[in-house]
């Protein structure tokens, strides 16, 4: 089982207020102490497009490297790969989408154009001995194109595997997939690609993130992306909200009897490093002594997941 903590990248790319570099570093270091296997630390994308992560190199330079934790970086092109390599990333993640429209909005090119960009990245990663993840965004639904046919997702995965990408992250960018849709896609995909090379990356817009993780788990997927506190979202995907929360995934898997090795209290401690900088229209940490929401354990009288609030 691998829990990939994407909060420092997917979470912080979507914040409107700046988060100081030192707070990001403390967040990553505390997350590493929680027992997660991999942390997507930041993204070497254009700072014009995502200014929130313009300090990726500084974050990488300052984090403590905990033994056994893989520190990865999102990269859109060869320029980003070179920066990630220089920063000492253990792994890189490239990204494309099954939707042409979303790709244009997010990376200013087509699906074909994105794959052309991946070729030099994969070649350089092989030379450097770095594994490459490939995200397939809008694998179920797109904010612009609506429902995405599973066959087109599988065809795209085939192309990514052909160019040498090691791990495919099936991504529900706008958090609209249902467990049945997850099962349907994995039924088509897994005869072609071993489950060990597939990760799932669910956003939780409609509260189905955990159900989708469990559906994928039942299909043998053991690499699960999640974000402490349910942070996340893509600035170029209208309506995308946070990733499924790491603590929710941990709870769900442990309730099934699996030892995730992740300390949920440490996830909360990690969030404390960035909490003062988060916008307040999301779940926030309870003040000392105040009762927490029974579902998400976050509440302040501001906003939490709102599902089972125990406070007024």
Nearest approach in angstroms of CB 127 to ligand HMG is 19
Q: Which long-range contacts (CB under 8 A, 24 or more apart) does 92-95 make?
A: 92/121, 92/125, 92/130, 92/131, 92/132, 92/133, 93/40, 93/132, 93/133, 93/134, 93/135, 93/169, 94/118, 94/121, 94/132, 94/133, 94/134, 94/135, 94/165, 95/134, 95/135, 95/137
With respect to ligand HMG, which residue has the nearer C-beta, 14 or 34?
Answer: 14
Nearest approach in angstroms of CB 43 to Mg ion is 11
Who contacts 29 (Cβ-Cβ below 8 Å, separation ≥6)? 63, 64, 66
Q: Which does 284 bind (CB under 5 to 8 A by kind): ligand HMG, Mg ion, none?
A: none
Q: Which does 44 bind (CB under 5 to 8 A by kind): ligand HMG, Mg ion, none?
A: ligand HMG
With respect to ligand HMG, which residue has the nearer C-beta, 227 or 260?
Answer: 227
Nearest approach in angstroms of CB 228 to ligand HMG is 15
With respect to ligand HMG, which residue has the nearer C-beta, 17 or 64?
Answer: 17
Nearest approach in angstroms of CB 142 to ligand HMG is 10
Binding pattern to Mg ion, positions 221-240, x when CB under 5 A? --------------------
With respect to Mg ion, which residue has the nearer C-beta, 205 or 260?
Answer: 205
With respect to Mg ion, which residue has the nearer C-beta, 10 or 204?
Answer: 10
Beta bridge partners of residue 213, listed in sequence order: none
Catalytic pick among 234, 296, 304, 305: 234
Nearest approach in angstroms of CB 311 to ligand HMG is 31
Q: Which does 46 bind (CB under 5 to 8 A by kind): Mg ion, ligand HMG, none?
A: ligand HMG
**Looking at beta carbons, which residue is closest to Mg ion?**
10
Q: Which does 135 bind (CB under 5 to 8 A by kind): ligand HMG, Mg ion, none?
A: ligand HMG
Q: Which does 45 bind (CB under 5 to 8 A by kind): Mg ion, ligand HMG, none?
A: ligand HMG
With respect to Mg ion, which residue has the nearer C-beta, 10 or 181?
Answer: 10
Nearest approach in angstroms of CB 289 to ligand HMG is 36
> Does the footprint of Mg ion cover residue 247 (CB under 5 A)?
no
Rule CB under 6 A: which residues touch ligand HMG? 10, 13, 43-50, 76-77, 79-80, 83, 95, 106-108, 135, 137, 171, 173, 201, 203, 234, 236
- Examine the residue annotation and report whether 234 is marked as an active-site residue of this protein: yes
Select the residue interacting with Mg ion from 10, 15, 247, 248 (CB under 5 A): 10
Q: Which does 111 bind (CB under 5 to 8 A by kind): Mg ion, ligand HMG, none?
A: none
In angstroms, the CA 169 to CA 172 distance is 10
Applying CB under 5 A, which residues contact Mg ion?
10
List active site positions. Answer: 234
């Amino acid at each position: 089982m691998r829990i990939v903590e994407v909060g420092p990248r997917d979470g912080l790319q979507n914040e409107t207020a700046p988060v100081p570099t030192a707070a990001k570093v403390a967040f990553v270091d505390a997350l590493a102490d929680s027992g997660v296997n991999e942390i997507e630390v930041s993204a070497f994308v254009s700072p014009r497009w995502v200014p929130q992560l313009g300090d990726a190199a500084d974050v990488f330079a300052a984090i403590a490297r905990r033994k056994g934790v893989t520190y990865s970086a999102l990269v859109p092109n060869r320029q980003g790969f070179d920066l990630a390599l220089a920063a000492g990333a253990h792994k890189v993640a490239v990204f494309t989408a099954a939707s042409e429209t979303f790709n244009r909005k997010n990376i200013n090119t087509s699906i074909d154009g994105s794959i052309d960009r991946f070729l030099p990245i994969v070649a350089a990663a092989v030379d450097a001995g770095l594994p490459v993840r490939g995200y397939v965004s809008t694998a179920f639904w797109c904010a612009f194109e609506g429902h995405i046919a599973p066959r087109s997702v599988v065809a795209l995965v085939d192309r990514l595997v052909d160019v040498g990408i090691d791990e495919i992250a099936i991504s529900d960018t706008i958090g609209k997939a249902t467990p049945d849709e997850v099962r349907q896609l994995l039924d088509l995909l897994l005869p072609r690609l071993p489950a060990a090379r597939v990760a799932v990356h669910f956003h939780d817009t409609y509260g189905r993130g955990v159900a989708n993780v469990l559906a994928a788990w039942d299909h043998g997927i053991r690499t699960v992306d999640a974000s402490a506190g349910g942070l996340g979202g893509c600035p170029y995907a209208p309506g995308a909200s946070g990733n499924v929360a790491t603590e929710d995934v941990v709870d769900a898997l442990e309730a099934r009897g699996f030892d995730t090795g992740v300390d949920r209290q440490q996830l909360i401690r990690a969030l404390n490093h960035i909490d003062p900088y988060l916008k307040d229209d999301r779940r926030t940490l309870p003040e000392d002594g105040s009762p927490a929401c029974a579902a998400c354990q976050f509440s302040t009288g501001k906003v939490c997941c709102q599902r089972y609030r125990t406070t007024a």
